[in-house]
Structure formats: C-alpha cells, structure tokens
C-alpha cells in the first residue's frame, strides 16, 4: 500500500512538472472592425464651393489622422481653411484593427471666400493664383551668411559674411511661389533660366517653409530636407533660417525681397 501511495505521488509530481512546462498560448488577436470600403469619410464646406472645409471620418472603431496636403491633423475630424482652388484630394490614414489603410475624398473648391492666414498673402501675394517672385535682397550688407546652428533666435548674428567673398551660384536668380491649382514653387538659377519646378508647404503654426522637388534660392548652403525656419515674413521681406547645414553643421540665414 505504501508503495502504491508513493507511485501516485510520483505520477502527480510528473504531471505538475509537465503541465508547468507547456507554453501558454495567447489566443487574443487583432480583428478588423470593418474593411476599407466600410470606412466613411465626409467633407463639409461652410459655403457651397467655399474653402473652409471640415473633414470627418465617421466610422466607429477606426483611429487615424488626416493628411490635407499642406499639413496633418492627428484626429478624426479637422476644419481647414484651404488656400488652393480646384479639385483637391484629402487623405485619411488609419488602422482597421489588424492592418493599416488610407482612403481619399475629393473636394471641389471654387472660391476662397474665407480669408487665409496673412502669411499666405505675404508669401504669394493677394492674387494667390498669380503668385509672387522673390530674390536676394542684395541692397543690404547681410543677405546670405553663416550663423549659429540650432538657434533661430541667433539667426541674424553673422558668423561669416559669405556673400562678400563667395556668393551662391544663383545669387542673381529668383524663386516663385503660387497657388494656381497646387502649391507651386519654381527655382531659377538666373532670371532667364529654365525653372526647376517643385512644391512647397507653408507651416504657419510652426513658422516653417518646406520645399520639395526643387531647391531654395541659395541652395549651395546645403539642405537636403528643404525645411527652413521663418524668422520674418512680411509683404516686403522674408528671412529664412537653416538650423544645421550639411557642409559644416553651422546655421545659415537667407534674406529675400519681392522682385
């Protein structure tokens, strides 16, 4: 009898050991709440054909953000005063649960009946479709110079007055901004050269100007990302600052005036 009891105890011990060694299987998995076709996007204009647009993603269980071309909104609903007439496509990027997706909605803007932030008019003029051309303000002593890195507050303190000895190759060139169907940017190496076409983003809240697909006037200072801090922007003056150029890690400052 004693031997039988010992055998039972040994068997019970082995069962406990083996059960403890078995892996725990987590059967929880992400499940899609709907499919892409089931995601509903809604765009509402404050006036018919107007440029004040509210974008909404109204399907429950979906999270994501809006990309409205000139910026992003990390929310399911955002109201934007859009500066570009014509057919505009806005994108919602989100997750269904187990997978990411993107979906677009088109909005036809026929009139700019809601005023834009003043920075837009300063940059491209009140005639936004025609746009505005900028050149270096070579009438001032400092118009393209090395400055302190990573310090917008020190942007106007020249470390090296490079324009006196070593002006950029496009010192006599120009650049043009307009909102004729898109945020268009053109760089001219000289006033008569064929332009290098690109686009731009004016990030008003963060005071940044971003150039893509082309190059800023004074590009030889180096800036592959095309992101510039706006130090000053008025109808008659624009000062941009590069916080960390690729050549030597210093800052760089650019001073422009309208042509």
Return the pLDDT at 112: 94
User: Contact, 232 vs 136, CB < 8 A?
Assistant: no
Neighbours of 123 (CB within 10 A): 23
Assigned domain for 179 exists: yes
pLDDT per residue of the chain (259 residues) written in tens, 0 to 9? 444 444 444 344 444 444 444 454 444 567 788 999 999 999 999 999 999 999 999 999 999 999 998 889 999 999 999 999 999 999 999 999 889 999 999 999 999 999 999 999 999 999 999 999 999 999 999 999 999 999 999 999 999 999 889 999 999 999 999 999 899 999 999 999 999 999 999 999 999 999 999 999 999 999 989 999 999 999 999 999 999 898 889 999 999 999 9
Q: Which residues pair with 187 in a beta bridge?
A: 175, 196
pLDDT of the residue at 19: 46
Instruction: Give 108's strand partners.
Output: 87
Q: Are residues 160 and 73 in the same domain?
A: no
Is 64 inside any structural domain? yes
Contacts within 8 Å (CB) and 24+ apart, 76-82: 78/54, 79/52, 79/53, 79/54, 79/55, 80/52, 80/53, 80/55, 81/51, 81/52, 81/114, 81/115, 81/116, 81/117, 82/51, 82/52, 82/53, 82/107, 82/109
- Tell me whether residue 66 is in a domain: yes
What stretch of H or E contains 227?
A: strand 227-234
Q: Is residue 98 part of a domain?
A: yes
Helix, strand, or coil (residue 27):
coil
Token duo for residue 148: 């302190």
CA 109 to chain centre: 22
How far apart CA 31 and CA 33 sit, in angstroms, is: 6
Q: What is the pLDDT of residue 128?
A: 96
Task: Say what the pLDDT of residue 176 is.
Answer: 98
Predicted pLDDT of residue 29: 65
Among 75, 109, 143, the domain boundary falls at: 109
Model-wide pTM > 0.85: no
Asked whether residue 127 falls in the same domain as residue 251, the answer is yes
CA-to-CA distance for 186 and 200, rounded, in angstroms?
10
Residue 63, domain extent: 36-109
Same domain, 231 and 202: yes
Q: For the chain, what is the domain count? A: 2
CA distance 32 to 34: 5
189 close to 214: Cβ distance less than 8 angstroms: no
Rg (CA), the chain: 29
Residue 236 and residue 149 share a domain: yes
Q: What is the DSSP letter of 194?
A: P
């Amino acid at each position: 009898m004693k031997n039988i009891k010992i055998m039972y105890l040994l068997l019970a011990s082995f069962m406990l050991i083996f059960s403890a060694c078995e892996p725990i299987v987590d059967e929880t998995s992400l499940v899609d709440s709907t499919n892409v076709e089931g995601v509903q996007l809604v765009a509402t204009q404050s006036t018919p054909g107007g440029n004040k647009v509210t974008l909404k993603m109204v399907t429950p269980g979906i999270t994501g953000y809006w990309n409205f071309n000139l910026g992003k909104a990390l929310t399911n609903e955002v109201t934007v005063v859009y500066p570009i007439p014509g057919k505009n496509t806005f994108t919602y990027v989100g997750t269904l649960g187990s997978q990411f997706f993107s979906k677009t909605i088109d909005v036809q803007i026929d009139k700019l009946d809601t005023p834009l932030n003043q920075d837009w008019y300063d940059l491209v003029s009140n005639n936004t479709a025609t746009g505005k051309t900028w050149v270096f303000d070579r009438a001032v002593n400092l118009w393209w110079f090395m400055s302190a890195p990573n310090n917008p507050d020190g942007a106007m303190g020249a470390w090296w007055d490079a324009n006196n000895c070593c002006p950029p190759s496009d010192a006599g060139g120009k650049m043009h901004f307009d909102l004729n169907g898109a945020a268009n940017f053109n760089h001219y190496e000289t006033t008569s050269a064929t332009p290098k076409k690109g686009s731009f983003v004016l990030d008003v809240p963060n005071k940044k100007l971003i150039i893509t697909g082309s190059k800023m006037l004074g590009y030889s200072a180096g800036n592959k990302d095309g992101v510039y801090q706006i130090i000053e922007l008025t109808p008659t003056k624009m000062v941009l600052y590069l916080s960390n150029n690729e050549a030597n890690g210093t800052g760089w400052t650019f001073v422009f005036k309208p042509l």
